[in-house]
Amino acid sequence: MKKNIAFVFCMFFSVTAFCQPAGQVVIHGQLNGDLKGYNRMYLYTRTSNDSAEIVNGNYTFRFPFTEPLMKFFYPQYTKEMRQMYQPFGILISGPGDYYVTSDIAKPMKYSSLKGPQPMLELQNFNSDFDLAIRKMNTIKAHIYGDQWYQINEASPLYPAMLHSTDSLNDIFVLPLIKKYVSENPKSIGSAYILSTHGKDYGTLDQKESLLHLLDAVTRKSKPSMEFENYILGLKKSRIGSVVSNFTLETPEKKSIAFDHFAGKYVLIDFWASWCWPCRNAFPGMRKMKQHYQDKNFEIYSISIDEDKDAWLKAVKDENNPWPQSWDGNGIANKYFAVTSIPATFLIDPKGKIIAKEVGYDPEGNDSISKELKKIFGE
């Protein structure tokens, strides 16, 4: 299990898949209840936004199908009434008609769906997954008390709770993932389950076993390949592993190879323009850069932005005094198995990973800061 540290971080995902024939996607939506005049529904991904007017409880979205992806819904009513927002999305697996029926009195995740089978399979999985998590939480509350979720690394109960969580994952979550993938080995929904939930659960061997449940064609889909590259990244990013050389582009459109930093301690920082915890970490990193400026030390920031222009703007706004690159080659996934940002890796002069961290600790008590103090002194 990954350490459940109390640092601030952003989750991210990428959903792409089979190349299918061009066609039209039509989402037929129905939102029941008194909307109090807030008659718009928003449909978005991390890099796009759209909206439609709700008329007599009905709304429609039309767009050309290009590739499978998740589309998320956000009612204007939820925003204007300051209700808690729970992200709800559907898998657009191909061209065709998608039907979403919701009630404004309930979270969107309780919507009923009709349409292509992969969307329904994924919806069923998500419902069963939520149920499994609730069962696990009930058991942890019984063992550790109702405030079990506040147990952190400072608590003597922390190791035991981590062990309990791993055991419960083996009982409730991994069999669920295996069930859906093995029953639907040809489905893009199964590939998507692995490229998201599959990354967070199970040992390396268990992840590889899940990957091999997919049929040969689905194994070639982009979400499946993303999961396979993540497994490769897990192997390559172990403490003590030597980082393979890679080349990325700078804001000036020049190529920079990682072996350019050979002979130095290098802090690789994975971030994105949309990740505010990442950007909130930059003032501390600038102090770190200044503190060790006379040492054999460099910082190298790599953005996982999908929107290259957004990255370029953020680079200009931040004006950080160290090299910058845009990850157009999937380095974050297949070399470092990054699923949450900010994520940092400390590399020694011989290219070996000696520390890594997910999240940002403004107090400087993270493993990276501690390792730098050991190397260079306070």
- Give 241-308 as a DSSP string: PBPPP-EEE-TTS-EEEGGGGTTSEEEEEEE-TT-HHHHHHHHHHHHHHHHTTTSSEEEEEEE--S-H
pLDDT of res. 17? 36
Q: pLDDT tens digit string along 81-123?
A: 988 888 899 999 999 999 999 999 999 999 999 999 999 999 9
Q: Is the pLDDT of residue 20 over 70?
A: no
Q: Residue holding tokens 């005094």?
A: 321
pLDDT of res. 119? 94
Q: Which domains does the chain have, with CATH numbers?
A: 11-115 (2.60.40.1120), 119-236 (no CATH), 247-376 (3.40.30.10)
Distance from C-alpha of 173 to C-alpha of 197, rounded to nearest angstrom: 9
Q: Is the pLDDT of residue 193 over 90?
A: yes
pTM: 0.77
pLDDT of res. 206? 94
Question: Of 4, 14, 7, 52, which Cα lies nearest the Cα of 338?
Answer: 14
Question: Of 360, 361, 335, 368, which Cα lies nearest the Cα of 266?
Answer: 368
pLDDT of res. 313? 95
Q: Is the pLDDT of residue 7 over 70?
A: no
Q: Is the pLDDT of residue 79 over 60?
A: yes
Question: Of 340, 371, 346, 341, which Cα lies nearest the Cα of 239?
Answer: 346
Q: Is the pLDDT of residue 1 over 90?
A: no
